[in-house]
Amino acid sequence: MRSALVWSWAFASAAGFGVAALAGEERPRSIAAESDSPGPGVQRRMAYEEGAEVEAWQRALRAKLLEILAMPDERAKPLDAKVALDAETDEHVGYRVSFRAETGVVVPGYLLKPKDVEPPFPVMICLQGHTKDGMAVSIGRAPVKGGRDFALQAVRNGWAALAIEQRSFGERAGNCQSDALHGVLLGRPLTGQRVYDVMRAIDFIETQRDLDAQRIGCMGNSMGGTVSFYAACVDPRLRLAVVSCSYCTYADSWLKHRHCACGYLPGIAKYADMGDLGGLIAPRNLVVVAGRHDAIADLSGVREAFSHTRRVYEAAGAGENAALVVGDEGHQFYPDLAWPVIARMAARFESN
């Protein structure tokens, strides 16, 4: 118990948050709420202001987010990608893939190509959250709960699916808490490392002739959604982000409820809330999925964040490209609600 408390204190201090944030205690609203004045809490120094030039604002905030994510500059190095036939079903042909993200880091994954669609295929990058089975859930080779077999869903909806293993999960299993703390010590947040893997996954997609690099999406639930969100914020090659049960004001989620240390970004709350950051995705497509009874993201906070994001989309003339979908249960994905929205947005790829 003492070890866990020490870890919580150490990470909270390094990230600029109070111990209560990681211990699961509710912080007083006066501390965690948005504020225009200096001091603890979410300060939103770089929030979008009505009438500001959207692209200029995006460039400035994106640069700050990239600084905080602290990703390496190794994208010019070879991917050393490997692709091998894995399995075939009535719906898809599956391949085992791997590629190099950075020196000494190889990302494993599965690529599923639908049988009933002509190439080049649109591609959905599929990310799992906290689970020992990792990407095996996405492809249906591990128990599936809460609609998380993203790769199979994508194939059934006419997409190729690239399910990659996130750092510290599944085949890359580690301890998120210690991995996150090591990242803080080294100046490389674990979330930034995971976002970088997604960027290299996009690099891999661009090398495959039968995959359409102009139609790439990224989706996930919980930590999978968190990484999908931040990846879309910084990489414009993602035309669509499906962010499930991972988007909310920091005050009503990360600063209020217990979360794993791996998802915290040092200092981000000084500059922007998640609703502000969502504006970095505009005018590209964003589907936010929420659970009415999600225990770690209050629906009121989701709606508040979405109002900030939607304001930027409207300023960019793309209000129809951001959607909020709310399911009636908890911390899970809602395929029957989300996929019709995804399909409508994908149909507009050529015009936005």
Domain-embedded: residue 335 = yes
Distance CA 282, CA 310 (A): 9
Q: 32 in a domain, yes or no?
A: no
pLDDT of residue 234: 98
The residues facing 220 across adjacent strands are 127, 243
pLDDT, residue 352, reads 52
Q: pLDDT grade, residue 239 (50/70/90)?
A: very high
What pLDDT, on the 0 to 100 scale, is given for residue 183?
96
Give pLDDT, residue 41.
80
| 271, part of any domain | yes
Q: Which residues contact 118 (CB under 8 A, 6 or more apart)?
A: none
Percentage above 90 pLDDT, the chain? 86
Is the residue at 18 inside a domain? no
Domain that holds residue 296: 82-351
Our count of domains for the chain comes to 1
The one-letter amino acid at 41: G
Give the mean pLDDT of 31-54. Answer: 72
CB 169, CB 128: distance < 8 Å: yes
Query: Does some domain include residue 37?
Result: no
Assess if residue 269 is contained within a domain: yes
pTM of the model: 0.89
Would 40 be classed as within a structural domain? no
Comparing 14 with 266, the larger pLDDT belongs to 266
Q: pLDDT band at 350, cuts 50/70/90?
A: low
Contact 228, 199 (CB under 8 A): no
- pLDDT tens string 182-225: 999 999 999 999 999 999 999 999 999 999 999 999 999 999 99
pLDDT of residue 351: 53
Q: What is the pLDDT of residue 336?
A: 98
What's the CA gap between 191 and 261, in Å, rounded? 10
Q: pLDDT per residue over 163-184, tens digit each?
A: 999 999 999 998 999 999 999 9
| Residue 276 reports pLDDT greater than 50 | yes
In a domain, 68, yes or no: no
pLDDT of 40 reads: 58
Place of tokens 């709350």: 269
Exposed e or buried b per residue across 228-244, where buried means at least 16 C-beta atoms within 10 angstroms of its C-beta: bbbbbbbbebbbbbbbb
Which CATH number do you get for residue 134?
A: 3.40.50.1820
pLDDT of residue 341: 98
Q: Residue 323 is inside which H or E element, if any?
A: strand 322-327
